[in-house]
Structure 1
């Protein structure tokens, strides 16, 4: 069994919990996710099974899209509503000021990763240090917010639609918006609505996977890529399956291709360079 399942992760589960369940349902040990969702977050979590795990890193590096609720006037140690409240403030900002503050975070920005995160510093996960009351210096990281729109404002709650790069902490984004407004803020709710082309509309619940099995929802590995399809045979097929590049004419220089064998099976992703088809990632 090889492919990807677009799982809807419910709140209250870790991403690894979902991986464990898919291993149990599928009977396959080689299973991995494509980007951690916090336990309290929910939404799209593509799960790679079998040979598709080779594509996990590529999928994880893709953009993310979220629907978030920012709670103004509350600052917590975890930067989300589940953390210990450090301070509360009255909210005396207008809707226009809120929209202006949110818009200021569109583009390439710098974030200091939160202490309550799985990021490692000195070989130790930050959240484990935070639970012991230890705070360490974290280096700012550059991330990109491609788009951030205010969906609605209801008192202290601000609905946001965010499209961002890998590594963006939405909790930190909410915290920083609150700081910019001078009243503080934290993340109240987070739903990942899209990543790597997988959307909320096509996500499958764990209950459906339990009752119907994995196969009806499994997306074949080659369908993860939109590159042109080419077929190799004979000596060239043997070379490619052994991991070697081959001489290739008539292909677009610099273009990537999905390469299939004479039996129609997906072999690899290759790139045309200097008249040769170079293997980027094997899947056979």
Structure 2
């Protein structure tokens, strides 16, 4: 048998909006994309369960410096909730614990959804990646061990009915980071008095990033390398909700050196900073008391690498 040809890695910079398929872990999806791009460095911006599909932003090269922004961003999901069945783990994969009759109308569901909009406390599920004494909770769950957890405060910005009837409904959920949609489904079922589990989940947004520009792994595999590279977005797209600041060449060089700069702009917790060249992203910063202060900086080599990725 012929040995598999060795992959020659290369410097790749940018953000790929991947439409992750069902049944694949976030890390497996990342590794497949990394091989296709032959990228030296890559990372994802937060785990999406194998039972969930949808938007998974992947960062390559210099873009990995800004992955935390997407981790911290609000999220948006299409969640399918099955009423009348409570399952172990809160989703379709778990065994049925209890079945109850469902007498829920659309009006009942709308009223129940409204109760959860705003800041709420959630008890993290055992089937989660949260750590306890160095081990993920899902590892304890697989052993049948229940670990005491502390409720976490999250925010549900909105929860609207998209489709459904009787015992199966699809909801459009906008929420803060760290929200467990399976727990939300269970709590919704408890509020309705019939129980529920999460029957399907698709992430449609993360901060300013949306699913409409995402590509599938199958589509990437069918492309040649230049076409794949053309799918990459600039690293600053991870900070799409932050205002822009543009600097002249001399000021840009000082900013990249980590020097504070006086600037006539209002205070801001996060800004995207650009140099004089079109789309020459330099890094992130914040403005306080009339000073522009760097937060995460790109090296001159990384700046040039991002510009090359944007060149047709």
TM-score, length basis structure 1: 0.92
Which residue matches 2:157?
146
Contact 1:79–1:172 at 8 Å: present in 2 too? yes
Which residue matches 2:87?
76
Which residue matches 1:252?
265
CA distance in structure 2 between the partners assigned to 1:282 and 1:221 by the alignment: 12
Give the Å deviation of 1:262: 5.7
CA distance in structure 2 between the partners assigned to 1:153 and 1:259 by the alignment: 45
Give the Å deviation of 1:261: 4.4
CA distance in structure 2 between the partners assigned to 1:171 and 1:257 by the alignment: 34
Which residue matches 1:200?
211
Q: Which of 39, 55, 62 is 1:51 aligned to?
A: 62
Deviation per residue, 1:190-232 (Å, 9 max, x gap): 1111112222221111112222243111001234445334224
Contact 1:268–1:282 at 8 Å: present in 2 too? yes
Deviation per residue, 1:112-164 (Å, 9 max, x gap): 01101111122211000000000011111111000001223323101111100
Which residue matches 2:306?
none
TM-score, length basis structure 2: 0.84
Q: Which of 222, 228, 234 is 2:244 aligned to?
A: 228
Aligned-CA RMSD value: 1.9
Q: Which runs of 5+ in 1 are unaligned?
A: none
State yes or no: 1:115 paired with 2:126.
yes
SS class of match (1:99): helix
Q: Which of 24, 27, 32 is 2:35 aligned to?
A: 24
Give the Å deviation of 1:176: 0.7
Which residue matches 1:268?
283
Deviation per residue, 1:32-89 (Å, 9 max, x gap): 1112111010011111111101111011111111111100111111100111111111
SS class of match (2:90): coil
Q: Which runs of 5+ in 2 are unaligned?
A: 1-11, 300-312
In structure 2, relative to structure 1, the CA distance for the partners of 1:257 and 1:40 (3 Å cut) is closer
Which residue matches 2:3?
none
In structure 2, relative to structure 1, the CA distance for the partners of 1:68 and 1:33 (3 Å cut) is same
Number of equivalenced pairs: 281
Which segment is superposed worse, 195-204 or 4-13?
195-204
In structure 2, relative to structure 1, the CA distance for the partners of 1:99 and 1:20 (3 Å cut) is same
